[in-house]
């Protein structure tokens, strides 16, 4: 059986990044996580063929790469919403109302924990690790950014803005 | 408090996240001095500081470095920036506010240990912080502090920021090494310890973000001065994260040994909404609960151990008198169940049974016999798991059961949570 070559399906910049990471580490295998991140940054998730690309580039078996990607909860094997909402419900957030916050967002967005809104804007996740922002509990992280000291109204405001916003950069 | 600060001494200085801003407050002078001192003198200074690891295990840093076998190269330095302990957010603050202080600390350690590759393993959720560090590392390269021939010497040092992807277990040092090697983040059997056989089978030191962020001060001001900020048994200062039911949650740098839990609580504005203090969890989600009788215990390793808990990774979660300890315990157990890596049976199955039982207990539908079973499950986990994750999944539950037995018993057959009466309970 001849396997299809999918390297062309990726943006050349993504492929260049994977090769750069491969050469940076003392062992190419160390570039698995960074390579998966590079692909997920481009495609928003990791289609099965993309794992084969990583395997080919790093000299591994596709099964090796899948065994790694499936261990980590932040890699998606299906298309998520354009924005990922993570509601922290660990101890500090739980003490300050995160369960109520999640319930409110489930109702307001019309999805359950883990679901994606019908317009594809948001995937809501309420089963996540402690997000390390306990000083601003309750909080949610939307994509890379933390929104702290939330109540239902403030969370709605934040998400309404994001729904139509352009990507932000570091500053 | 007016005590001298180490980690947060430059707080508020303009442009601190840039190499130029950090240099204006004396940044990277520690690295210059370290290179003049030479590796042995740096290690001696760190030993004199009495610095102990700030990631949770509190192992003396200088001693840990001393375990590296002589003349075996290459060696590696890994920075544990996988901060995921529930209640801990100090490393996040150190990376957001003082990224170059961390990088300088990393480079000082890298020079002392004569490594040519230093890896910063940062949890996947800290994507923004990862990008900040990547930007700071690029600046450090451009300024000649990292890369080929650091500061005109023959020493090369690569600084590699490596992002995890959502796995609490990767904070355990051997799981971190597996993850960094591109594998599933499951722990390795010890011994051999990483100092002997770590990353790629080579001698490796794994140090926490806060631990390394102390090094610029220790090198420039001297280990003795650092040690004197705390007490003999608990030297230096520490960044504590106070959260939960307090008026002003946040991070507070305080001298070790001379400060009590009550002082920390006061720094955070006391218990919120005029309510009464009920309990606290120091150290992070893994650690045992303490009560009001422990408020005057000093932040000293031994004193907190004698009280029945640990300073762990420097957290303090405060709970007021409206809190249901069964609910808190159930939440924590759910977390450990979710994060159990699946490698060993006592942890994988134990956290499952533990969490199912805690849900029933919190919903008021568990019997007294089941409550007795909880102790049995925990007894079969503690000391029988492959790594500390499984052990720590029992510590809060069992300590809460010992300290608040009536609260656990009152849930049995109550049909609902008797503490959070009137509020909705999710089974």
Per residue in B16-56, pLDDT (tens digit) is 999 999 999 999 999 999 999 999 999 999 999 999 999 99
- The predicted model gives A70-95 an average pLDDT of 96
Tokens of B279: 């309990």
> Is the sign of the CA dihedral B423, A123, B244, B54 positive or negative?
positive
What's the distance, Cα to Cα, between the start and end of chain B in Å? 44
Please tell me the distance from the alpha carbon of residue B234 to that of residue B243, in angstroms, as a whole number.
Answer: 23
What pLDDT does B424 receive? Answer: 45
Q: Write a three-state SS string for B276-298.
A: CEEEEEECCCCCCCECHHHCCCE
- pTM above threshold 0.80: yes
Per residue in B266-277, pLDDT (tens digit) is 999 999 999 999
**Among B residues 128-187, those touching chain A with beta carbons less than 8 Å apart:** 128, 131-132, 135, 158, 160, 162-168, 179-186
Please tell me the distance from the alpha carbon of residue B196 to that of residue B76, in angstroms, as a whole number.
Answer: 11
What pLDDT does B427 receive? Answer: 35
C-alpha triplet A76, B171, B231: angle, nearest 5°: 150
Q: Which CATH class is domain B325-426?
A: mainly alpha
CA distance A136 to chain B (A): 7
Residue pair B316/B282 in contact by the 8 Å Cβ criterion: yes
Interface contact B244-A133, CB threshold 8 A: no
Would you call A83 helix, strand, or coil by DSSP? strand
A30 at B interface, C-beta within 8 A: yes
Instruction: Phi first, then psi: give them for residue A69, nearest 5 degrees.
Output: -60, -35
What pLDDT does A168 receive? Answer: 53
Helix axes A48-58, A12-24, angle to 10 degrees: 40
Which of A29, A34, A127 lies closest to B181 in CB terms?
A29
H/E segment holding residue A110: none
Report the half-sphere exposure of A23 (CA within 13 A, side-chain side): 5
**Residue in chain B lying closest to A126 (CA):** B335
Per residue in B394-426, pLDDT (tens digit) is 999 999 999 999 999 999 999 999 998 644 444
Which of A25, A67, A144 lies closest to B127 in CB terms?
A144
Per-domain boundaries in chain B:
19-228, 237-320, 325-426
Give the mean pLDDT of chain B: 96
For B237-320, CATH gives 3.10.20.600
Which of A91, A146, A170 lies closest to B317 in CB terms?
A91
- The predicted model gives A52-68 an average pLDDT of 97
What is the CATH architecture assignment of B19-228?
A: 3-Layer(aba) Sandwich (3.40)
The interface predicted TM-score of the complex, written ipTM, equals 0.94
Tokens of B210: 């806060």
């Amino acid at each position: 059986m001849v396997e299809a070559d999918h390297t062309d399906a990726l943006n050349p910049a993504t492929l260049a990044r994977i090769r750069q990471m491969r050469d940076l580490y003392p062992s190419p295998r160390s570039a698995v996580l960074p390579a998966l991140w590079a692909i997920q940054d481009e495609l928003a998730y990791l289609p099965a063929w993309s794992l084969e690309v990583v395997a080919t580039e790093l000299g591994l078996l596709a099964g090796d790469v899948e065994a790694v990607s499936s261990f980590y909860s932040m890699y998606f094997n299906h298309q998520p919403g354009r924005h990922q909402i993570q509601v922290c419900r660990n101890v500090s957030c739980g003490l300050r109302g995160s369960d109520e916050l999640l319930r409110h967002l489930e109702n307001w967005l019309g999805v359950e924990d883990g679901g994606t809104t019908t317009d594809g804007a948001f995937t809501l996740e309420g089963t996540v690790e402690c997000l390390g922002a306990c000083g601003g509990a309750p909080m949610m992280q939307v994509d890379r950014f933390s929104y702290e000291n939330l109540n239902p109204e403030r969370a709605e405001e934040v998400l309404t803005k994001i729904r139509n916003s352009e990507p932000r950069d570091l500053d | 408090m007016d005590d001298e600060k180490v980690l947060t001494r430059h707080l508020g200085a303009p442009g601190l996240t840039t190499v130029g801003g950090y240099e204006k407050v004396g940044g990277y002078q520690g690295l210059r001095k370290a290179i003049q001192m030479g590796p042995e003198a740096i290690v001696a200074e760190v030993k004199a500081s009495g610095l102990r690891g700030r990631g949770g295990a509190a192992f003396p840093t200088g001693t840990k470095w001393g375990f590296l076998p002589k003349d075996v190269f290459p060696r590696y330095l890994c920075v544990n920036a996988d901060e995921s302990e529930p209640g801990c957010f100090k490393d996040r603050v150190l990376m957001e506010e003082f990224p170059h202080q961390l990088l300088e600390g990393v480079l000082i350690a890298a020079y002392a240990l004569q490594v040519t590759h230093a890896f910063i393993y940062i949890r996947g959720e800290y994507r923004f912080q990862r990008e900040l560090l990547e930007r700071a590392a690029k600046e450090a390269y451009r300024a000649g502090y990292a890369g080929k021939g650091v500061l005109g010497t023959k020493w090369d040092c690569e600084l590699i920021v490596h992002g995890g992807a959502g796995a609490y277990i990767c904070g355990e040092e051997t799981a971190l090494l597996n993850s960094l090697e591109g594998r599933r983040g499951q722990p390795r059997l010890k011994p051999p310890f990483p100092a002997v056989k770590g990353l790629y089978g080579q001698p490796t030191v794994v140090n926490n973000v806060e631990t390394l962020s102390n090094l610029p001060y220790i090198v420039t001001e001297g280990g003795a001065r650092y040690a004197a900020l705390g007490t003999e048994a608990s030297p230096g200062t520490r960044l504590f994260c106070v959260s939960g039911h307090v008026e002003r949650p946040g991070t507070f740098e305080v001298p070790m040994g001379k400060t009590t839990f009550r002082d920390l609580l006061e720094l955070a504005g006391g218990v919120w909404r005029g309510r009464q203090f009920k309990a606290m969890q120091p150290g992070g989600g893994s650690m045992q609960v303490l009560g009001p009788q422990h408020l005057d215990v000093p932040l000293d390793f031994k004193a907190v151990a004698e009280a029945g808990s640990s300073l762990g990774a420097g957290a303090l979660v405060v709970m007021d008198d409206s809190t249901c300890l069964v609910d808190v315990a159930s939440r924590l157990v759910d977390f450990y169940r979710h994060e159990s890596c699946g490698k060993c049976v006592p942890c994988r199955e134990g956290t499952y049974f533990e969490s199912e039982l805690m849900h029933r207990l919190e919903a008021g539908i568990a019997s007294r016999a089941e409550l007795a079973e909880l102790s049995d499950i925990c007894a079969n986990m503690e000391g029988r798991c492959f790594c500390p994750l499984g052990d720590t999944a029992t510590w809060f539950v069992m300590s809460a059961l010992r300290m608040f037995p009536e609260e656990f018993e009152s849930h049995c057959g109550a049909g609902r949570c008797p503490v959070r009466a009137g509020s909705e309970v999710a089974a």
